Amino acid sequence: MEFILDCSRDRNSLFNQEAISVFAEDFIDKVKNHGWYRTSCIPERYKTFEIVSEAFKAHFAYIKTRYREVVVAPSKDPIQAKQKLNLKLQKSSR
């Protein structure tokens, strides 16, 4: 199954909510019915729609952060974006 997220919209937009639902339902189906991650033995309590969709929403928040840093910021002000990235790299290297 294929789905797409829209990083320009809020993760709670109807479009993204539907995409997250499609992902969660498809993921659960593949884990339960098609043997995905069989060797890692995901506990049953984590194979619920609520758990999978909330985990994906958290991951989507990270994706949107990276999207804003890598795509949006440089297109608005490349010099400032580079300075922020350098500052972030300096802080993380300490």
Provide the domain limits for residue 47.
14-93
Which residues make Cβ contacts (< 8 Å) with residue 79, sequence separation at least 6? none
Higher pLDDT residue, 78 or 48? 48
Question: What contacts 38, CB < 8 A, 6 or more positions away?
Answer: none
User: Structurally, how many domains does the chain consist of?
Assistant: 1
Please determine, for residue 94, whether its predicted confidence score (pLDDT) is greater than 80.
no
3 domain-assigned: no
Report CA 82 to chain centroid distance, whole Å: 23
Closest C-alpha to 15, from 3, 24, 27, 26: 3
79 domain residue, yes or no:
yes
Q: Which of 24-33, 61-70, 74-83 has the lowest mean pLDDT?
A: 74-83
Q: What is the mean pLDDT of residues 22-42?
A: 90
Q: Tell me if 40 is assigned to some domain.
A: yes
Condensed to tens digits (0 to 9), the pLDDT of residues 37-70 reads 888 888 999 999 999 999 999 999 999 988 988 8
Q: What is the mean pLDDT of the chain?
A: 89
Domain assignment of residue 2, yes or no: no
Cα–Cα distance, 24 to 73 (Å, whole number): 30
